[in-house]
Amino acid sequence: MTLSSRLLAPGITALVAIAIAVVASPLRAEEAAADPALTAAAQKAFKAIADGDVEALRPLVEKKYAKKLTAEELRPPQTGPKVAVAYDGNVRVMHADERMAVVQANLFTPSSNDIPKGEGSKLTLFMKKEKGDWVIEAPSRKEADDDATINGGWYHPGAFTFCPNTGLEYFGSHFSNKLNCQSTAICK
């Protein structure tokens, strides 16, 4: 082996290690940003939605929507994908900063064979911090942060978004240049 080939192998290894560290650091930052109070509020909200318990969900919804909340809004419409409730208790923080967050959980399983397993199985919540407490909010077009792009290389399966003003909305599958989907349906 020549001197240049002996120097080239460790150099390439170092570049790959640096690239992995740079790519992984934003993902770790997202996970580190997860406030324990956010995770606890999200778990309570997902449990209430899975159980169809409107009274348990009302304190976790922004006040202007809480009074009008009904049990029918906690399930997909009859014309949507046929799914059964199967909450596994796990919550993923998809995006979080000091005042708003997007959280997601596996809440549904398809009840027919014509729906792929990953499609329509997740429920996404858009949450805002109000007076120190995390509550479910209806995201505007800007807050929904649609990450779909024509040049995207990552496939994001369709998921439901709970909109406290309209009920469950289906956000279709799309391709994105982001690894983790941070988008929600537009509720306002």
Amino acid at 40: A
Q: What is the 3-state secondary structure (H, E, C) of 18-65?
A: HHHHHHHHHHHHHHHCCCHHHHHHHHHHHHHHHHCCHHHHHHHECHHH
Same domain for 22 and 46: no
Tens-place pLDDT, residues 127-138: 999 988 999 998
Q: Around Cβ 61, how many Cβ atoms within 10 Å?
A: 23
Q: Based on the structure, what is the number of domains in the chain?
A: 2
Same domain for 107 and 61: yes
Judged on CB neighbours under 10 Å (0-12, 13-18, 19+), 184 is: buried
Same domain for 74 and 28: no
Tens-place pLDDT, residues 12-53: 555 454 545 444 434 443 443 568 999 999 999 999 999 999
- Enter the pTM of the model: 0.71
Q: Which domain holds residue 4?
A: 1-32
Question: Residue 169 maps to which CATH number?
Answer: 3.10.450
Q: Does residue 167 fall inside a structural domain? A: yes
Same domain for 51 and 19: no
Look at the block and give the residue holding tokens 């027919």: 112
Beta bridge partners of residue 54, listed in sequence order: none
